[in-house]
Structure 1
Amino acid sequence: MGEFRPVPDALGYLAGRWRVERSVRDLASGDDGEFSGTTVFSPVDSGGLLHHESGTFVWRGVPRPAERTLRFLPGEADGTADVRFTDGRPFHDLDLSSGRHVADHPCSADLYRGEFTVRDEDHWRTVWRVRGPAKDLVLTTDYARAD
């Protein structure tokens, strides 16, 4: 991928509605899936954003509704975010000041490594590589601003 766009304020950049396209590849089985939908980052009283994703996930040819919710809170450093599950457990940090960020999230014996890249003011991408005894996945998500 080419140059990245620095983002001085991650929460400010993410706020709003995004179209989402995600590919999911299971490297162990060779199965592929895809998710298509929207993500809305809406303000919450704590000063952060509530991330709500909803759409359709197709796996092995079977479409089903899918959704998830995360909390993006102000991080320790200005312009960064502390991403948490809705129950408050930590997920990962996010610093887009260089336009690119790598974050790790251990989940049982598996490790999720996410790479976040900002292409321009209306497009960004995440690539999660999940490795461990239970999973061997690559999830690539492209976001396009819908506002």
Structure 2
Amino acid sequence: MGEFWPVPNVLAYLAGRWRVTRSVRDLASGAEGEFTGTTEFRTEETGGLLHHESGTFVWQGVARPAERTLRFLPGPGGTADVRFADGRPFHELDLTSGRHIAGHPCAADLYRGEFTVRDADHWRTVWYVRGPAKDLVLRTDYAREG
């Protein structure tokens, strides 16, 4: 992996619209899928960002519309507290070094996320999901629009 691009304030960096491409691979079965769409980070009254992602997810040749919403709340020192739409905690996000590792336990599964910033307009997440019924890798690339 190349050098990382430090981000002093994650909310200021993420604000706006991003093109999204995500590959999903099931390591147990070898099945693969892909999501393409957009993510918009809109400023909320709280000072945080509302993250809304929408697009198309193709899994084993079947295309379906897909969307999700998260909230990115201001954290200390330019970081963010990432929450699900219903307010449940998801993970912290600190990109001051340009890279962050996050974890999230979900029932019997463990999600481990690696966030890397390549430059002012490109960043990536890679989530590894492991558990009794899951062995997945989700790689998402973001490119700023406009």
TM-score normalised per structure 1: 0.98
Count how many residue pairs are aligned between Structure 1 and Structure 2. Answer: 146
Write the mapping of 1:99-138 to structure 2, written as runs, cut at 5 A: 99-138=98-137
Write the mapping of 1:1-147 to structure 2, written as runs, cut at 5 A: 1-75=1-75, 77-147=76-146
Q: What is the CA distance between 1:38 and its match in structure 2?
A: 0.1
Code of the aligned partner of 2:109: D
CA distance in 1, matches of 2:71, 2:83: 5
- Cα deviation digits, residues 48-77 of structure 1 (max 9, x gap): 0000000000000000100000000001x2
Code of the aligned partner of 2:39: T
What runs of 5+ residues in structure 1 fail to find an aligned partner?
A: none
Question: Percentage identity across aligned positions?
Answer: 80
What runs of 5+ residues in structure 2 fail to find an aligned partner?
A: none
Q: What is the CA distance between 1:29 and its match in structure 2?
A: 1.0
* Segments ≥4 residues shifted beyond 3 Å: none
- Cα deviation digits, residues 96-118 of structure 1 (max 9, x gap): 00000000000001100000000
Code of the aligned partner of 2:15: A
Code of the aligned partner of 2:29: S
Q: What is the CA distance between 1:78 and its match in structure 2?
A: 1.6
Matched residue SS, 1:78 = helix
How large is the RMSD of aligned CA atoms in angstroms? 0.5
Q: What is the CA distance between 1:84 and its match in structure 2?
A: 0.1
